[in-house]
């Protein structure tokens, strides 16, 4: 499904822009832009699509989306009572001087992770609602401090969940150790091959057992679990962005058995690849 590029209203000398809409119609198609975007939606019932994530929603939704991440919200109600508050800020904010200070390390990590899309639950959500309501414009220092406080609260929150898979969001982990970065980069460029644990352990001069313990400690996933998740992420990217057949997608993503592929996909998404694609197209097109 193709997405369009949105030109946002932020100016080059603005730290951010804040937009507020009542009775939002959610009639904008699947899109992306170069800026970060924090979205608070209240009184909403419908669906949210971010990368390859599609979720049904009701109530209040708070998300942080990184640059070039495709997204769309679709309302179930023809007459909307939903309200939207959006803060957009420029991509280069991540590389600004303020982000180079040690006190900003959590915010920098948050912004890197937001390239996959992040959704927040309570109590973080309620804290951010109160702060967002206090910001009327972007032309005074108090508003800028509130903006930084919002980013700090989000960066230290335990109530966040990542939405999209790395391949679908074109995401790469830049703050990992040299060994982990080497491994993740190898997977990124070789996931179609038959990758063995012994081969990866040799790459970083470790035994299989030592490497397995090390990788699990650093990523909270076994290596085989990470490799499977990465391949499934490639699958959802191809399902949502191409017209390739299921067989072609399975082979392209590195699965050597169609039955194993279907079983793994259904275990993760609770539906078949075909059902996933139909559901995705239905949500972004309605």
Residue 222 sits in the same domain as residue 203: yes
- With vertex at residue 4, the alpha carbon angle to CA 135 and CA 139, rounded to the nearest 5 degrees, is 20
Residue 280 sits in the same domain as residue 181: yes
* Total of domains in the chain: 2
Query: What pLDDT score was predicted for residue 36?
Result: 96
SS3 assignment, position 182: helix
Query: What pLDDT score was predicted for residue 285?
Result: 79
* Strand ranges in the chain using DSSP code E only, listed in sequence order: 4-5, 17-22, 31-32, 36-50, 53-65, 71-75, 83-89, 118-120, 160-162
Residue 125 sits in the same domain as residue 187: no
Query: What pLDDT score was predicted for residue 199?
Result: 94
Write the CATH number for 244: 1.10.10.60
Spatial contact of 187 and 232, defined as CB atoms under 8 Å apart: no
Rounded to two decimals, the pTM is: 0.83
Residue 27 sits in the same domain as residue 129: yes
Residue 138 sits in the same domain as residue 208: no
Give 172-220 pLDDT, tens digit per residue: 655 457 888 899 999 999 999 999 999 999 999 999 999 999 998 888 7
Q: Pick out the chain residues at pLDDT < 50.
A: 175
d(CA 176, CA 178): 7
Spatial contact of 164 and 234, defined as CB atoms under 8 Å apart: no
For 119-174, where are the alpha helices, taking DSSP H only? 124-134, 141-155, 166-169
Domain with 18, as residue range(s), is: 4-166
d(CA 39, CA 225): 31
Which tokens belong to 104? Answer: 């900003």
Antiparallel, parallel or unpaired: β 31-32 and 36-50: unpaired
d(CA 248, CA 229): 18
Last residue of a domain, one of 139, 166, 193: 166
Residue 56 sits in the same domain as residue 157: yes
Residue 147 sits in the same domain as residue 11: yes
Query: What pLDDT score was predicted for residue 139?
Result: 80
Query: What pLDDT score was predicted for residue 169?
Result: 65
Give 122-142 pLDDT, tens digit per residue: 999 999 998 998 898 878 899
Residue 193 sits in the same domain as residue 88: no
CA distances (Å), origin 150, targets 62, 129, 131, 277 = 12, 10, 7, 35
Residue 40 sits in the same domain as residue 147: yes
Query: What pLDDT score was predicted for residue 218?
Result: 82
Antiparallel, parallel or unpaired: β 83-89 and 17-22: antiparallel
Query: What pLDDT score was predicted for residue 174?
Result: 53
Residue 171 lies in a domain: no
């Amino acid at each position: 499904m193709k997405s369009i590029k949105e030109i946002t209203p932020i100016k080059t000398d603005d730290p951010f822009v804040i937009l507020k809409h009542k009775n939002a119609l959610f009639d904008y198609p699947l899109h992306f832009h170069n800026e970060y975007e924090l979205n608070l939606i209240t009184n909403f019932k419908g669906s949210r699509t971010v990368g390859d994530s599609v979720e049904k929603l009701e109530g209040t939704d708070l998300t942080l989306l990184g640059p070039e991440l495709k997204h769309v919200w679709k309302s179930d109600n023809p007459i909307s009572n939903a309200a939207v508050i959006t803060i957009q800020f420029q991509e280069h904010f991540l590389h600004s001087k303020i982000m180079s200070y040690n006190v900003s390390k959590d915010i920098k990590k948050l912004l890197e992770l937001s390239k996959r899309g992040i959704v927040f639950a309570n109590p973080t959500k309620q804290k951010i609602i109160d702060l967002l309501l206090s910001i009327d414009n972007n032309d005074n220092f108090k508003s800028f401090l509130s903006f930084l406080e919002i980013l700090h609260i989000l960066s230290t929150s335990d109530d966040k969940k990542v939405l999209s898979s790395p391949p679908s969001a074109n995401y790469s982990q830049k703050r990992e150790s040299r060994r982990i970065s080497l491994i993740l980069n190898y997977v990124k460029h070789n996931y179609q091959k038959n990758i063995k644990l012994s081969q990866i352990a040799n790459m970083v001069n470790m035994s299989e057992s030592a490497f397995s313990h090390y990788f699990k400690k650093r990523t909270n996933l076994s290596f085989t679990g990470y490799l499977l998740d990465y391949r499934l992420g490639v699958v959802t990217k191809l399902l949502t962005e191409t017209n390739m057949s299921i067989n072609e997608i399975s082979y392209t993503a590195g699965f050597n058995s169609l039955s194993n592929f279907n079983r793994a996909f259904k275990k993760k998404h609770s539906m078949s690849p075909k059902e996933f694609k139909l559901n995705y197209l239905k949500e972004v097109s309605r």
